[in-house]
Amino acid sequence: MKTAKEMGLGLCPECRKVNEMLSTQQRCSRCGSLFFQRKVNSLQYTLAWNIAALIAFIPANLYPIMIIYSLGVPEASTILSGIGLLIDHNLYPIAVVIFTASIIVPLIKIVGLFFLVLKVHLGQRLKPKKHSKLYHVLEFLGPWSMLDVFVVALLVAVVELGFVSTVEAGPAINYFTLTVIFTMIAATSFDPRLLWDEDDTIEIDKPKEEF
């Protein structure tokens, strides 16, 4: 099995045309976009965005995401305590959905990307088929963590339009949004081809160019 890199070719990430790499930065002959054979500094960028996401995830869970005024008394709830409230009200399906979208998905995503970065960095390949599936899953999961942000947005709007009790969005919503956006950027910075390159290129006389 030959790879495009071994043949001095590169795949345009925009239009998927195979181009001859005449320079390190190649302009695609079909769509005109500039690209590199591999995403430049992919691991560093992925790691940096991932750490940023992890940092933003802490205040996202500590600060209240929603403040409910019942009879004039403000009651702040964080993501976790909000889920607790749902369980108290026996709204299990919604509790599960919110818990999955707000806690499990971002965490899986952050941990999964750390794992992939580490694997590439160490040059280990356990089962590439499994790893590239993992990456697919991570890419797909991304937007779903926006759920809680949208929920609070909708509740604030509906309630503001004239209800007895009022709901206000808490500061956590901004941090949470940042977490989601950072993990999405981290996933797009990661180049899954690096998972395959390592042991293929070792035997080739070319020196390793990236990282």
Partner 1 sequence: MVDQACTSELIACQQCDALYKQPCLNEGQKAECGRCGATLFERKNNSIERTFSLSIAGLLFLTPAIILPIIGVTLAGQFHNASLLDCITQLIGKGFYMIAILVFMFAIAVPTVRLIGALYISYCFKFNKIKPFLLHFFRAYHQLDSWSMLNVFLLAIIVSMYKLLDDTELSVDYGLLAFVLLLLCSTLVSVTLDQDYVWQTLEKECLDENS
Tell me which of Zn ion, partner 1, none is bound by residue 97, counting a contact when its beta carbon lies within the kind-specific cut-off of 5 to 8 angstroms: partner 1
Amino acid identity of residue 46, one-letter, is T
Whether 159 contacts 53, CB under 8 Å? no
Pick what 188 binds: Zn ion, partner 1, none; C-beta below 5 to 8 Å, kind-dependent.
Answer: partner 1
Residue ranges binding Zn ion (CB under 5 A): 12, 14-15, 17, 28, 30-31
For the CB of residue 146, give the shortest distance to partner 1 in the complex, in Å.
5
Cβ distance to Zn ion smaller for residue 168 or 200: 200
168 binds, among Zn ion, partner 1, none (CB under 5 to 8 A by kind): partner 1
Q: Which amino acid is at 190?
A: F
3-state secondary structure 41-104: CHHHHHHHHHHHHHHHHHHHHHCCCEEEEECCEEEEECHHHHHHHHHHCCCHHHHHHHHHHHHH
The secondary structure of 103-128 as a DSSP string is IIHHHHHHHHHHHHHHHHHHT--S-H
Minimum CB separation of residue 37 from partner 1 in Å reads 9
Structure-token pair, residue 106: 């971002």
15 versus 118: smaller Cβ distance to partner 1: 15
Q: Which residue has the tokens 């026996």?
A: 90
- Compute the distance between CA of residue 194 and CA of residue 211 in angstroms, rounded to an integer: 10
Q: What is the nearest approach in angstroms of partner 1 to the Cβ of residue 183?
A: 12
- The least CB distance from residue 164 to partner 1, in Å, is 6
Residues that bind partner 1 (CB under 8 A): 1-9, 11, 13-20, 29-33, 86, 89, 91, 93-94, 97-98, 101, 128-129, 132-133, 135-136, 139, 142-144, 146-147, 149-158, 160-164, 168-169, 173-174, 177, 184, 188, 192-193, 195-197
By beta-carbon proximity to Zn ion, the closer residue of 28 and 101 is 28
For residue 135, how far is the Cα from the chain centroid? 10
